[in-house]
Structure 1
Amino acid sequence: MESNAMLSLDRISKSFGEVKVLHDVSLEVGEGRIVGLVGQNGAGKSTLMKILAGVHPHGSYTGVVRVDGTELTLGSPGDAIAQGLGIVPQETSTVDTLSVAENVVLGTLKGWVNPGAMRRDAASFLSELGIRLDVRQPAATCTTSEKQLLMIARTLYARPKVLILDEPTTALTATEVDRLLGFLTRLRATGVTVILISHKLDELFRVCDHIAVLRDGRLVDFCDRERFDPQAIIQHMVGRRLDALYPRPIAPPQDSVVLDVSQLRVAGDQARGRRELTGISFSVRAGEVLGIAGPLGSGRTELLEALAGMTRWRGQVRVAGREVRPGSQAASVEAGICLVPEDRKRDALFANLSVTENLVIGSGKYRRGPLRRRRRETEGARRAIGSFGIKVADPRRSVLRLSGGNQQKVVIARALEQQPKVLLLDEPTKGVDVGAKRDIYSLLRDRTAQGLAVVAVFSDEAELIGLCDRVLVLSHGAVMRGFDVDAGDEALAAAILTGDDLLKEEHA
């Protein structure tokens, strides 16, 4: 703990009804320090940050929050900003109808504004951060990663004393991650205190002075840099030791080819930021996990969406020897292809429905004609909750009440309930804690042992090497290289996935 703390939390407790989610959390962070905050989904990280952001106002929790020695009584997010607390949430919250420059200065404008001076100031500030964006362009035209950087810039523009970042690197490329972490180290030198929430321990180890671990609403560890140890931190997070994060295959892939793709071509759409795909060919055997690697914009998501029938394509796709009609979601589903998209909240979850309804929706076995069989739905949902290890107090409550990891389990469970031959996964562990990741990995290995073919996009090279049987590397919408992970090529695999120069050399 720090003396003369810039940020001090003293016995913070918070309950929702009869459920206590924070238990006497005390934490002190000195000026110009970076603290990594880790914990499983549901550990209390978001609740604690919402207290600091003024979302949960003073009086709705017990305990004391101090910044630079002053006790705060925050009643709104505006109060938090005024008191020197800057929060960058995980979900993008840019105002798409405004320009990049207007988004940067949003919240700090008072009175009449000179548009030219505003753009010059915003451009200078973005340049200082190393963010390359046209300040005149509408935020709506920015990519997901550019919007994430824009949100960070907007928060920093208010010159906070304490900066809190919630999973800021989830949508960033490796180069953008390096740039952000480098900026945080420079920011620390100016005296700004940083709280960095992340599931990526390697990133935390690069920049943090301390790591705080929450489990079940309690602070269970606070370690200095000299005590950083990934296994010990994971053990504190989950309450047990994980000797091997990636389960070994239960059975080797079979000889039979389930998915065969030949010369797949998809037209690009520059206005929507969609990459053109050119002549992609590969096959996936029963019981095999094929990883799709490559930088953002390489065509990974476009490939999965084409196979799922969401876009028109040319070429040939066969499932179990039968051709699939191009550009038809119904044809892809009928052939046995099922997609779990990257953005679960936007594209996979039904926010206005319960956990039970999210698990059973789309399955014909719970209907008799147009009528729903409520009892069967409830029984089916309970079986799925048990089989997939979904932690939920009441399946009748909204799915949005679940943690991110449990929401993802619901989406994957619903997909597997359809008994697909080919499961497409786009960043299936994005924003998921280490315990839920392990559960998802084990689940996939169980199903591949039964003959399921999996095609999965991963940005984390450790997942590609630890979970996949083979990896296909995309670059600029084409297959750059494929390799067999089990052939002892791990070192080369890591070099291909992380080395920009090698990527360029191979593609050339």
Structure 2
Amino acid sequence: MMTSHPLIPPHIPSAPPAAGFQPEPAQPTAPVLEARHVSKSFGEIVVLHDVSLSLDSGRVLGLVGQNGAGKSTLMKILNGQYPYGSYQGSVVIAGQEVRLRSPRDATRAGIGIVPQETSVIDTLSVGENIHLGQYGARRLLTVAQLQRRAQVFLDGIQLPLDARLPVASLTTSEKQLVMIARTVYARPRVLILDEPTTALTDTEAGRLFDVVRSLSGQGVSSILISHRLNEVFDLADDIAVLRDGRLVDELPRSSFDRGRIVTAIAGRRLDEPFPSRPTHVPTAAGLAVRDLTVPDPRRPDRLAVNSVSFSAAAGEIIGIGGPMGSGRSELLEAIYGLLPARSGHIDVHGRAFTPQNPKASISHGIAFVPEDRKSDGLFLNGSVEDNLTLAILRTLSSRLLLRPAARHDTAARLIDQFKVKTDQGTAPITSLSGGNQQKVLIARALAARPSVLLLDEPSKGVDVGARAEIYRLIRQAASDGVAIVVVSSEVPELLGLCDRVIVLSKGSVVSELDARTTTPEDLTLAAMSGTLNARTTPETPQ
């Protein structure tokens, strides 16, 4: 049982052991937490491959890797969110194997997690939120008592919060601090921080790290997941690197080497048949974005996109990279009119354009393929033909009446042109593979003959063969003079498919790189450093 320490009020009752956990005295040399040979699959997709990690008392482990590397999946196993039996391998606490079947089991075993998503109750005060889950039926406290005790705790860890305030009145970063305080208040022996500084200012992040250091001095161990290498280098005692669900490197502080870690994160360029680029550099005006600023729809007190400027010439493919939460998707959604911009200017072929809604954007020649094809892109109750022709129904109608023969012929032509594998156009769209569904979305977007094509994660959930065909279609569209902007989490895709890559961090542009000369390590470092990279290229002439 963990002893109390100055940061944690001694009045909190000790938690009962987790299911399957025998609270016998641990060996002094036993790690506080271990993952042994952990593998996890979702259907046929393997997201963790035989991963083993250990965490010693009082140490901070930095866990790094690209989006989709398996970091959050592993943490959800350690937190009981993916219960025992849903994965292979074992979780061991203080030398004892545990079978965590829920987050509550993990809390009882001394594992606390601060997730990426803000999870607080706005109708309660700061003090009440901090106490959530801390007391059973054995003792009742008034709201005033809860708030007083919470204030003593907050003052002790130097977090500038008023325990009496309703959480609804706080900023997003202050709500994040409430979540951190609530997790620390529960006296965890292991504290998991999953991208904890995404919504924090530098000053708030500094206070958080001071708390983690103080806890480490008192024997509390931590796992820090972060895309910001400077934070990891500053705080961690050890670093582990995941790539494609595998543990590919581990380093103690004495061996920290930025180049080695970036190389481990980036890996090598995938052997995918990317189409060749044109030898000439396009210069004709396509899409120009200047000083675009967009409020975050989920966090109104902060900006998702902060004064972003870039251009994509007609016939050019521009990649948008950066860590999760950097504003990549919000940038595309604002250009397409799905999100309102606070300020900025957009030109399409040299003409000013204000994207008030998707309909207006379509009329100005802008097409958009969203990241989630099933929720936001496909008409799942329709046929392949329905989905292919949805954007061009007006051209297939006469006097407001749809011409079925014209629609059928057009769909058949698109199926052939975009090599959609289906028995017939009347087949349900749900009968197609993920790759062919994605080709339908791209075909539908290009059928309207846009001058600008916005693609958010165009190869997500697509096998290698279908990817090659999608890349060919994108490059062919560029050859036809379409200005294309591609948001992607995959370094090889950004470098192999695109002509230039814009890197975002916290909603701002931090690098502009020539994909022809940039290495995977260069791009990974630019995305994870979050600072302006000196290796920039001049913007394409308008």
Q: Quote how far apart the aligned CAs of 1:143 are.
A: 4.7
Report the secondary structure of 1:257's partner residue: coil
Q: Quote how far apart the aligned CAs of 1:412 are.
A: 12
Q: Quote how far apart the aligned CAs of 1:196 are.
A: 1.9
Match of 1:201 in 2: 229
Determine if contact 1:338/1:415 at 8 Å carries over to the other structure.
Answer: no
Report the secondary structure of 2:286's partner residue: strand
Describe how 1:113-192 pairs up with structure 2 within 5 A: 113-129=141-157, 131-140=159-168, 142-192=170-220
The answer to whether residue 101 in structure 2 is matched with residue 72 in structure 1 is no
Match of 1:435 in 2: none
The CA distance in 2 between the partners of 1:473 and 1:38, in whole Å, is 18
Match of 2:348 in 1: 319
Determine if contact 2:336/2:367 at 8 Å carries over to the other structure.
Answer: no
The answer to whether residue 395 in structure 2 is matched with residue 364 in structure 1 is no
Q: Which amino acid aligns with 1:9?
A: A
Partner residue of 1:220 out of 234, 239, 248: 248
Partner residue of 1:350 out of 366, 375, 390: 375
The CA distance in 2 between the partners of 1:199 and 1:166, in whole Å, is 10
Q: Quote how far apart the aligned CAs of 1:22 are.
A: 4.4
Determine if contact 1:313/1:327 at 8 Å carries over to the other structure.
Answer: no
Determine if contact 1:34/1:194 at 8 Å carries over to the other structure.
Answer: yes
Match of 2:107 in 1: 81
The CA distance in 2 between the partners of 1:63 and 1:444, in whole Å, is 42
Determine if contact 2:238/2:251 at 8 Å carries over to the other structure.
Answer: yes
Q: Quote how far apart the aligned CAs of 1:6 are.
A: 1.2
Describe how 1:398-477 pairs up with structure 2 within 5 A: 418-419=445-446, 420-422=450-452, 453=483
The CA distance in 2 between the partners of 1:131 and 1:381, in whole Å, is 60
Q: Which amino acid aligns with 2:348?
A: V
Q: Which amino acid aligns with 1:74?
A: L
Structure 2: which 5+ runs fail to align?
1-27, 271-275, 397-401, 422-429, 459-467, 489-497, 515-525, 533-542
Shift of the 201–252 alpha-carbon distance from structure 1 to 2, 3 Å rule, reads farther
Match of 1:462 in 2: none
Report the secondary structure of 2:34's partner residue: strand
The CA distance in 2 between the partners of 1:448 and 1:472, in whole Å, is 21
The CA distance in 1 between the partners of 2:145 and 2:499, in whole Å, is 51
Match of 2:38 in 1: 12
Q: Which amino acid aligns with 2:360?
A: A
Task: Return the TM-score normalized by structure 1.
Answer: 0.62
Taking only aligned residues, the RMSD between alpha carbons, in angstroms, comes to 6.3
The answer to whether residue 342 in structure 2 is matched with residue 308 in structure 1 is no
Q: Which amino acid aligns with 2:30?
A: N
Report the secondary structure of 1:185's partner residue: helix
Report the secondary structure of 1:418's partner residue: helix
Report the secondary structure of 2:84's partner residue: coil
- Structure showing greater radius of gyration is 2
Shift of the 72–379 alpha-carbon distance from structure 1 to 2, 3 Å rule, reads farther
Report the secondary structure of 1:48's partner residue: helix
Match of 1:464 in 2: none
The CA distance in 1 between the partners of 2:174 and 2:439, in whole Å, is 28
Shift of the 240–227 alpha-carbon distance from structure 1 to 2, 3 Å rule, reads farther
Shift of the 354–226 alpha-carbon distance from structure 1 to 2, 3 Å rule, reads farther
Q: Which amino acid aligns with 1:120?
A: R
Report the secondary structure of 1:5's partner residue: coil
Match of 1:258 in 2: 286
Determine if contact 2:390/2:444 at 8 Å carries over to the other structure.
Answer: no
Shift of the 32–265 alpha-carbon distance from structure 1 to 2, 3 Å rule, reads closer
Deviations 1:180-204 (A, max 9, x none): 3443333322221111223433432
Match of 2:52 in 1: 26
Report the secondary structure of 2:184's partner residue: helix
Deviations 1:61-108 (A, max 9, x none): 454422233432322211110110012223333334433333222221
Determine if contact 1:310/1:329 at 8 Å carries over to the other structure.
Answer: no
Q: Which amino acid aligns with 2:144?
A: G
Determine if contact 2:388/2:414 at 8 Å carries over to the other structure.
Answer: no
Deviations 1:240-275 (A, max 9, x none): 369xxxxx9977764443346799999999x95477
Q: Name the stretch that deviates more: 221-230 or 309-318.
A: 309-318
Partner residue of 2:79 out of 53, 56, 60: 53
Q: Which amino acid aligns with 2:75?
A: M
Deviations 1:436-460 (A, max 9, x none): xxx9xx99996878755578999xx
Report the secondary structure of 2:212's partner residue: helix
